[in-house]
Amino acid sequence: MTALSPPATLGERVGALLGRNIVYLAFLIILVVFAIILSDRGFLTVGNLTTIVRQTAPITVMAVGLTFTLSAGEIDLSIGSTVALSATMGAIALRDYGLAAGIVGGLAVGVVMGLVNGLVTVRLRVPSFLVTLGTLGIGQGLARKVTDLQAVPVQDATFTSWFGSGSVGPISSLLIWTAAAVVVGHVFLKHTRFGRHTLATGGAPRAAAYVGIRTGRIRVAVLVISAMTAALAGLLYAGRLHGARYTLGEADLLTVIAAVVVGGTHLFGGRGTVIGALFGSLILGMLNNGLILMGLDVSDQMIARGAIIVLAVALSLREPKRI
């Protein structure tokens, strides 16, 4: 006879519940704490909350793509350089050839970077960590070379309206892009065969291959998705800032990884949540905004942000005990 597991204690049940919902609890706690501490500095005003969403839009878009990559057991370290290269190439094409060329040119950078990352990883069997570390340097170098270390202005009003400073009625275009990325990503990861195959590839690659899942194609696809969302983020930066620089995206990699992992996606594959990545991105955006409103200098902001991120990631990586 199979021995029955002892009934879970109240503490174990609470721990399991918190393990599944830690990102939402953290979001609520940080929101309430900042609302109380910064009640006289406008933290909860519609304008400030809208600013947080607008500022986190590129991070959220990239977090959606990286959720697929991590869920499949891969990683993409080149997203920051993809942002810079797509923004600069898109801005140059926009300036020289018009709106359609600018959009296609920027997104094409993502397709190429993703295919290079995926094909080298799968065909040559090089770990994606090393492949994307290499393309990180290539992307940064190309962004510097094509711009000659100069900013590329974006003066097309239609482009900036669609990708940054515009709105549809009262709704910012950045909010629309964020919502679209999250909805599409959530549906594909949780409600399609591709999403199930992605999670299976990351959780048990040998078993997935044994039952007929083409894990190589999945791994290439998720790296293309990651690069494509980074390219879109580059266009969003260029539209919001009315220009592109080779430095765009340089500091985004760790922020995006933190947002995804804090949101509940497993670093080593097999578990992912796009909705969690959204909340992870918003948490980091609130921290950045709140610490600035508190008047902390840059060094104190970095220390406080880093400590909170380490704590959140440690909690999110805890495997709740099955009950």
What pLDDT, in 10s, does the model give residues 207-229?
999 999 999 999 999 999 999 99
Quote the pTM value: 0.90
Tell whether 285 is covered by a domain: yes
CB-based burial label for 283 (10 Å; 0-12, 13-18, 19+) = buried
Tell whether 9 is covered by a domain: no
For residue 322, count other CB atoms closer than 10 A to its CB.
8
- Domain hosting 62: range is 25-32+42-316
DSSP letters spanning 270-306: S---HHHHHHHHHHHHHHHHHHHHTT--HHHHHHHHH
Q: How far apart are CA 182 and CA 244, in angstroms?
A: 25
| pLDDT at 303 (0 to 100) | 81
| pLDDT at 13 (0 to 100) | 54
Q: How far apart are CA 99 and CA 322, in angstroms?
A: 53
Count of domains observed in the chain:
1
Q: How far apart are CA 294 and CA 169, in angstroms?
A: 32
For residue 145, give the amino acid letter: K
For residue 48, count other CB atoms closer than 10 A to its CB.
16
Tell whether 166 is covered by a domain: yes
CATH number at residue 254: 1.10.3470
Cβ within 8 Å of residue 251, ≥6 positions away = 80
Tell whether 299 is covered by a domain: yes
| pLDDT at 26 (0 to 100) | 84
DSSP letters spanning 157-204: HHHHIIIII-EETTEEHHHHHHHHHHHHHHHHHHHSHHHHHHHHHHH-
- Tokens standing for 105? 């040119």
| pLDDT at 7 (0 to 100) | 56
| pLDDT at 317 (0 to 100) | 59
Tell whether 190 is covered by a domain: yes
Tell whether 136 is covered by a domain: yes
Tell whether 191 is covered by a domain: yes
| pLDDT at 323 (0 to 100) | 41
Coil, helix or strand at residue 247? coil
Tell whether 1 is covered by a domain: no
| pLDDT at 134 (0 to 100) | 96
Q: Which helix (H) or strand (E) holds 168?
A: strand 167-168
Q: Which residues in the chain show pLDDT less than 70?
A: 1-21, 305, 308-309, 312-313, 315-323
Cβ within 8 Å of residue 50, ≥6 positions away = 172, 175
DSSP H helical ranges for 43-98: 46-71, 79-97
CB-based burial label for 51 (10 Å; 0-12, 13-18, 19+) = middle
Coil, helix or strand at residue 243? strand
